[in-house]
Structure 1
Amino acid sequence: MDEKFKPAKRVAGQKPDVWSIVNEAAAASPKQPIVNMGQGFFGYNPPRFILDAAKSALDRVECNQYSPTKGRPRLKKALADAYSPFFGRKLDPETEVTITTGANEGMLSAFMGFIEPGDEVIYLSNIEMPGGTIRYVPLQPPKNGATRTSSAANWTIDWDTLESTFNAKTKMIVINTPHNPIGKVFSKDELTRIGDLCLKHKVLILSDEVYDRLYYVPFTRIATLSPELAEITITVGSAGKNFYATGWRVGYLIGPPQLIKYVAAAHTRICYSSVSPLQEAAAIGFEEADKNGFWTPPSQRCKASIPEGGYFVLANLTKVKLPEGYDFPPQVKDRPRDFKMSWFLIVELGVAAIPPTEFYTDERAHLAEDWLRFAVCKNDDVLETAKDRLRGLKKWMV
Structure 2
Amino acid sequence: MGKRSDAFRPAARVAGQKQDVWTIINEAATNSPKQPIINMGQGFFGYNPPTFVTDAAKAALDRVDCNQYAPTKGRPRLKQAIATAYTPSTPHLSRPLNPTTEITITTGANEGMLSAFMAFIEPGDEVILFEPFFDQYIPNIVMAGGVVRYVALETPRNGSTQKTSSADWTLDVSKLKQAITPKTRMIVLNTPHNPIGKIFSETELRAIGDLCVDHSILLLSDEVYDRLPYVPFTPPRALSREIAQITLTVGSAGKNFYATGWRVGWLLGPAELIQHVSAAHTRICYSSVSPLQEACAVGFERAEELGFWEQSREEMRGKVRRFCDVLDELGLPYSEPEGGYFVLANLKKVELPGDYEWPEVIKGRPRDFKLAWWLIMEHGVAAIPPTEFYTEENQGVVEDWLRFAVCKDDEVLEGAKERLRGLKAFIKG
What TM-score, normalized to structure 1? 0.98
Structure 1 residue matching 2:402: 3-state secondary structure? strand
Q: Are 2:141 and 1:135 equivalent residues in the alignment? A: no
Write the distance in 2 (CA, Å) between the matches of 1:187 and 1:3. 51
Q: Are 2:116 and 1:110 equivalent residues in the alignment? A: yes
Write the distance in 2 (CA, Å) between the matches of 1:288 and 1:257. 27
Aligned to 1:219: 233
C-alpha contact 1:167 1:201 (8 A) present in aligned 2: no
Q: 5+ residue gaps in structure 1?
A: none
CA displacement 1:312-338 (0-9 Å, x = unmatched)? 000001111111131111111101111
Q: How does 1:234-273 map to 2 (within 5 A)?
A: 234-273=248-287
C-alpha contact 2:43 2:405 (8 A) present in aligned 1: yes
Match for 2:178 among 145, 159, 164? 164
Q: Are 2:27 and 1:24 equivalent residues in the alignment? A: yes
Aligned to 1:328: 358
CA shift, 1:17, in A, is 1.3
Write the distance in 2 (CA, Å) between the matches of 1:202 and 1:375. 37
Q: Are 2:99 and 1:93 equivalent residues in the alignment? A: yes
Amino acid at match of 1:363: E
Write the distance in 2 (CA, Å) between the matches of 1:194 and 1:267. 27
Write the distance in 1 (CA, Å) between the matches of 2:24 and 2:380. 14
Aligned to 2:160: 146
Match for 1:74 among 67, 72, 77? 77
- Per mean C-alpha deviation after superposition, the further-off stretch among 267-276 and 331-340 is 331-340
Write the distance in 2 (CA, Å) between the matches of 1:117 and 1:368. 32
Aligned to 2:407: 377
Write the distance in 2 (CA, Å) between the matches of 1:314 and 1:362. 19
CA displacement 1:248-285 (0-9 Å, x = unmatched)? 00000000000000000000000000000000000111
Aligned to 1:34: 37
Consecutive aligned runs of 4 or more in structure 1 exceeding 3 Å deviation: none
CA shift, 1:59, in A, is 0.5
Write the distance in 2 (CA, Å) between the matches of 1:152 and 1:318. 18
CA displacement 1:54-90 (0-9 Å, x = unmatched)? 0000000000000110000110001001111111241
Q: Are 2:410 and 1:396 equivalent residues in the alignment? A: no
CA shift, 1:184, in A, is 0.2
Q: 5+ residue gaps in structure 2?
A: 315-327
Identity of aligned residues (%): 67
- Per mean C-alpha deviation after superposition, the further-off stretch among 220-229 and 123-132 is 123-132
Write the distance in 2 (CA, Å) between the matches of 1:6 and 1:37. 37
Aligned to 1:313: 343
Q: Are 2:95 and 1:65 equivalent residues in the alignment? A: no
CA RMSD, 1 decimal: 1.1
What TM-score, normalized to structure 2? 0.91
Amino acid at match of 2:147: T
Amino acid at match of 1:189: T
CA shift, 1:388, in A, is 0.8
C-alpha contact 2:74 2:105 (8 A) present in aligned 1: yes
Write the distance in 1 (CA, Å) between the matches of 2:400 and 2:34. 23
Write the distance in 2 (CA, Å) between the matches of 1:188 and 1:145. 24
